[in-house]
Structure 1
């Protein structure tokens, strides 16, 4: 099977040349353009999620032999969550080679976090099926290398940390409010404000409510900790 120049370039960015290129093509095919003879990437996504999980669990287990399960769990979640997978996909410009239906393409599908994260997991599965677990592990560890270095910081859930900060001082949990929404439906931007009963507050903007709340909580925590 002959691959296009764009997909060959993607293989280079990925760092894996497929002996079974049909696996890569399937991993890049969204359900919006699938047909009975051109299956989508959903089954591969299911498998890739499990391969990624095993690689990350093993990496964390080996990296810190003194870490408890309670310490490893939030690190693991930070490494395998959909937002992280989407960020890795953006680093290798996976969106440029996604195969999408016209409506999905017109609505900005190449930039959507969910689509990118799913496709990244599917690509991991494609590498696993093409060359085995060692190849998939090497791929994941290489692409996630920087994330593994900063996982302790990423694993600290700022919403939970802010709530604990408030409770330790006898305050009720922080409140979150959407103060503005901009952009088209396919690429919205939410401005989220977090506020404590003592009057402390911060705002942040992000592409989803959850990310906005996390960013606002992180900003407020940073300001509060500067006062300590």
Structure 2
């Protein structure tokens, strides 16, 4: 992995899913995942700014989203061999989403254990080299919808959680996207981020169909 933990309990927490019968809510990886996501974003954003000095904010944002997406994080989980150490139970499935979440939690744990320097070193080792094989970043539905709305000068879309289904360790989020002058669209996803993208795609398809008529 590239980091020796002084506080090994942080690593254990980063590897513990909420479905584990031995874990309380505060002993699972969710809080470390929250922190690790921000640390990952900071380190990769700095890396991309240095690597692509002539690109604007929108281009860098798309590169960031592509570089830290679920597929890449799952690939990193395999490189770290984390699937052999993740602690879970209660009928939960060791899927890509869980593995990607654990990678972010591990980054958060490293930050808590040693600070930004060690976390940056590990992220640069596992994440940043993936940019060498990255294709030109695609525009995700949320970005496309926002850019469409800005072009029409009708305000920006807003997102809100309107429901949550399933067990705590594998929730399904229901997100609604609202854009002035159009019918709101709802979508479900295994995370708020996934549900927001799905809702944005629904609304984007709707508004572009109307515009084409």
Fold match by TM threshold 0.5: yes
Aligned to 2:121: 138
Give the alignment of 1:36-47 within 5 angstroms: 36=24, 39-47=27-35
Count of residues in correspondence between the two structures = 141
Q: Hey, what's the Cα distance between the residues in 1 that align with 2:15 and 2:74?
A: 14
Of 94, 97, 103, the residue aligned with 2:85 is 97
List runs of 5+ in structure 2 lacking aligned partners. Answer: 142-193, 195-213
Higher relative contact order (Cα pairs below 8 Å, separated by 6+ residues):
2
Shift, 1:27, TM fit: 0.1
Q: Is the 2:110–2:119 Cα contact (8 Å) retained in structure 1? A: yes
Residue 71 (str. 1) matches residue 59 (str. 2): yes
Q: Compared with structure 1, are the counterparts of its residues 15 and 154 closer, same or farther at alpha carbon in structure 2 (3 Å cutoff)?
A: farther
What value does the CA root-mean-square deviation take over the aligned residues?
2.2
Give the alignment of 1:197-216 within 5 angstroms: none
Of 15, 37, 41, the residue aligned with 2:2 is 15
Q: Hey, what's the Cα distance between the residues in 2 that align with 1:77 and 1:41?
A: 22
Aligned to 1:8: none
Higher helix share: 1
TM-score, normalisation: structure 1: 0.57
TM-score, normalisation: structure 2: 0.61
CA deviation vs aligned residue, 1:133-174 (integer Å, no higher than 9, x gap): 0110110011013312223x0623699xxxxxxxxxxxxxxx
Q: Compared with structure 1, are the counterparts of its residues 113 and 66 closer, same or farther at alpha carbon in structure 2 (3 Å cutoff)?
A: same
**Whose radius of gyration is greater, 1 or 2?**
1
